[in-house]
Amino acid sequence: MASFDPNEMVARFRERAAAVKRRPLPPVAGEERQLFIAQATADFQDFAMIGDAEAALEDGVLVLRIDLRPK
């Protein structure tokens, strides 16, 4: 893993969060639509949190620091 860059990983998650925001709704209605929206919301939150992280490799351990305090 000598070529692993944690900051590149964080950038990929930032891109994934943006992609979720751009994701169009499929042509479904009712409960399926609500499930899709709920999953997109969870995906965005997860990807955005990691995309906002400060990442570092410390003695071979990936450390993600995410500040969850209200701004």
Average pLDDT, the chain: 92
38: exposed, middle or buried (C-beta count within 10 Å: 0-12, 13-18, 19+)? exposed
**Using an 8 Å Cβ cutoff, are 65 and 51 in contact?**
no
| pLDDT tens for each residue of 18-47 | 999 999 988 888 999 999 999 999 999 999
- pLDDT at residue 1 above 60? no
